[in-house]
């Protein structure tokens, strides 16, 4: 079979011995493959053999049993983000920016907002790991986003979940402070799995639920990629315009 088949979810896990393996999710089962290279699995070629199958501890969260531990699905050489791509994100950022109309202009413009969120994974954590707030910020928000995993030719190989953690008060004070509001240690999270969609034209439903220390919900929200101002292909085209991006680059597509 060539590559990861449509509709499949793949993860990376580490054995307590240090061995890293790619696993394919099948119901409540994790099928460990004879490879640790998730990009090669997504890109194609001969699909590695299944060497072991284990029952997932938590199928919804893709959490494997001991002695395996879930990792970020990949280590992107670069992680980029696109902003103000949804109507609701435009409204939220205009509200926080003291009435400035710059976000309205970006939303309506032909050219999208793009910025480098991380490189070499120095500011990115995986599933189950804590994100962070800046020490000089009083208002930090999570931003759940569909994240595109791109191949060597810039074509999307699959999607994962990204968290573009942001210091809203810093960005709201002045849009030129965006790098400080967006780029700092543990300001990005990825995972748990990479999904290979059956059909890229079908919109994704995005749901976020935040629980307190007692597992009680403090926030719940939903949106859909059907509300996006720009398509995935359009965002990728702008990202790659005179900008060579390496294989395995991730593009966050805004909440």
**Annotated domain spans of the chain:** 9-70, 78-252
Would you place residue 226 in the very low, low, confident or very high pLDDT band (cuts 50, 70, 90)?
confident
Provide the pairing of β-strand 29-33 with 188-190: unpaired
In angstroms, the CA 81 to CA 123 distance is 14
Residues facing residue 141 across a β-bridge: 166
Q: Is the full-model pTM beyond 0.85?
A: yes
Query: For the segment 130-189, what is each residue's pLDDT rounded down to a tens digit?
Result: 999 999 999 999 988 999 999 999 999 999 999 999 999 999 898 899 999 999 999 999
pLDDT value for 38 = 96
* Domain at 78-252, CATH class: alpha beta
pLDDT value for 46 = 67
Would you place residue 86 in the very low, low, confident or very high pLDDT band (cuts 50, 70, 90)?
low
In angstroms, the CA 234 to CA 101 distance is 23
Would you place residue 1 in the very low, low, confident or very high pLDDT band (cuts 50, 70, 90)?
very low
Integer angstrom CA distances of residue 143 from 29, 46, 128: 30, 36, 16
pLDDT value for 2 = 39
């Amino acid at each position: 079979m060539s590559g990861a088949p449509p509709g499949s979810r793949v993860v990376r896990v580490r054995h307590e011995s240090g061995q890293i393996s790619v696993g394919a999710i099948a119901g409540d089962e994790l099928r460990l493959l004879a490879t640790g290279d998730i990009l090669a699995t997504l890109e194609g070629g001969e699909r590695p053999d299944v060497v072991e199958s284990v029952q997932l501890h938590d199928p919804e969260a893709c959490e494997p049993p001991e002695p395996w531990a879930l990792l970020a699905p990949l280590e992107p050489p670069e992680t980029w983000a696109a902003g103000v791509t949804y109507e609701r994100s435009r409204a939220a950022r205009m509200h926080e920016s003291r009435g400035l109309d710059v976000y309205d202009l970006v939303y309506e413009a032909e050219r999208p907002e793009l910025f480098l969120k991380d490189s070499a994974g120095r500011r990115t954590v995986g599933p189950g790991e804590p994100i962070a707030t800046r020490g000089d910020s009083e208002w930090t928000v999570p931003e759940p986003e569909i994240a595109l995993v791109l191949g060597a030719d810039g074509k999307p190989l699959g999607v994962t979940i990204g968290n573009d953690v942001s210091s809203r008060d810093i960005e709201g004070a002045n849009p030129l402070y965006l790098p400080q509001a967006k780029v700092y240690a543990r300001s990005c999270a990825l995972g748990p799995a990479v999904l290979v969609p059956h059909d890229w034209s079908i919109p994704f439903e995005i749901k976020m639920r935040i629980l307190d220390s007692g597992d009680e919900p403090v926030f719940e929200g939903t949106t859909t990629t059907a509300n996006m101002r720009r398509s995935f292909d359009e965002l990728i085209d702008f990202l790659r315009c005179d900008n060579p991006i390496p294989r395995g680059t991730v593009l966050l597509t805004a909440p």
